[in-house]
Amino acid sequence: MNTLKTPICDLLNIEYPILQAGMGGVAFGPLAAAVSKAGGLGTIAAISPTPERVEQEIILARSLTDKPICVDIGFPLRAPKEKSDIELPELPGPLKQLHQEIEALGVEIKSADDQAMSIEDARTKLEICFRHGVEVIACALGTPKWVVEACHARGVKVISIVGRASHAQTAIRNGTDIVVVQGTEGGGHTGDIGLITLLAEVLEFSTVPVVAAGGIVNGSQIAGVLTQGAQGVWVGTRFIGSQESSVGPNYKQSLVEAENDSTIRSLLFDGLYVRQLQNRFTEVWEGHEAELQPYPIQRIVIAPSRFAAAAADLKDHQALPAGQGSGLIRDLPPAGELLHRLVDETVEALRKAQQRIQLKVA
């Protein structure tokens, strides 16, 4: 096994600078534990699940490995204090159509309690993490100063995921330990700036380690961002395509079958920009964009059909968040094996680059 180390390895007490992203509905205890056990940093997604589910997944991960783990919690600026503050509209036309099609397939659509709307909910999850000694907290959709202060008071490291340079500046000012810059190539919530440009922008001013994210699925890409100045990578979509991810086989197979132009970035998932594979779930909104709701209303109204389709693993009707690197995914290995493969590919790519590029310094 090759050695691949950067300063964040010591900062996070991990062996390799590969961090698995906290992907909703994907990254739970088994995946996080497998990645951490293999030497990376595994992350549990904690935006949508109930606090009780988050605690269960932390306990499960702890039973599988004693290595550091991360929990990804959302602190969106637009979130209301309480979920009861939200007033819902009539169900948009595209969702009525989607409901009809899903129910015609024999799948029952029930009410869904998506936990991603309340700051109080996020506080509860953070306290659960502290109670179980979680070593790292990832802040998605914003990094409040009070979160950083609470974490640092307990010796917990903070990772901030950002999509703009200005967001990185705010996170650094608020005391974050690591900034993850996610380019528009990434799956899930993403901005509109490409990774190479965004990484260069943030590296110009960052006083903390910078980690690259967005469409990264192989070692040659990791080698590229490391030579640009990143201290590690935050990998999402590639780990969806692993045996321990919590999505169904149809979702995973969709990644293997994806072409290089299979994704779109839109507001239809929850009112914030999300990149996902195109299918009937996205197609039903074409020509009806005016009916999209702002965050978090869109997330609430879409939750029943989204969760029902995901539970039934409907290939055409479930949401399939994924990055532009999907077209490079060919197989579905165990997560630990995948992590070691990424390390080996990265080292090999760096060696080849060193042999190929001959520099003469005067």
Cα dihedral 115→285→141→294 (10° resolution): -80
Is residue 342 over pLDDT 80? yes
The tokens describing 136, both together, are 């790292």
Mean pLDDT of 312-340: 97
Q: Closest by alpha carbon to 43, among 136, 112, 127?
A: 136
Task: Give the domain range for residue 145.
Answer: 7-350
Is residue 362 over pLDDT 80? no
Mean pLDDT of 52-61: 97
Distance CA 335, CA 130 (A): 26
CB distance 263 to 187 below 8 Å: yes
pLDDT tens-place string over residues 124-150 = 999 999 999 999 999 988 899 999 999
Please state at what angle helix 93-104 crosses helix 297-311, rounded to 10 degrees: 10
Which neighbouring-strand residues pair with 264?
276
Q: Closest by alpha carbon to 43, among 19, 61, 16, 70?
A: 70
Cα dihedral 290→292→295→296 (10° resolution): 140
Q: Closest by alpha carbon to 182, among 200, 156, 164, 169?
A: 164
Confirm whether 214 is domain-assigned.
yes
Residue 62: other Cβ atoms inside 10 A: 16
CATH number of the domain at 252, please.
3.20.20.70
Q: How many domains does the structure of the chain reveal?
A: 1
Confirm whether 362 is domain-assigned.
no
Confirm whether 17 is domain-assigned.
yes
pTM: 0.94
Confirm whether 357 is domain-assigned.
no
pLDDT tens-place string over residues 164-196 = 999 999 999 999 999 999 999 999 999 999 999
> What is the enclosing helix (H) or strand (E) of 222?
helix 219-228
Place of tokens 């995921």: 161
pLDDT tens-place string over residues 266-303 = 999 989 899 999 999 999 999 999 999 998 889 889 99
348: alpha, beta or left, given left = phi > 0 and alpha = psi -120 to 50? alpha
Q: State the pLDDT at residue 86.
A: 73
Confirm whether 324 is domain-assigned.
yes
Confirm whether 314 is domain-assigned.
yes
Q: Closest by alpha carbon to 247, among 33, 98, 22, 24?
A: 24
Distance CA 331, CA 313 (A): 19
Confirm whether 1 is domain-assigned.
no
Is residue 353 over pLDDT 70? yes
Confirm whether 328 is domain-assigned.
yes
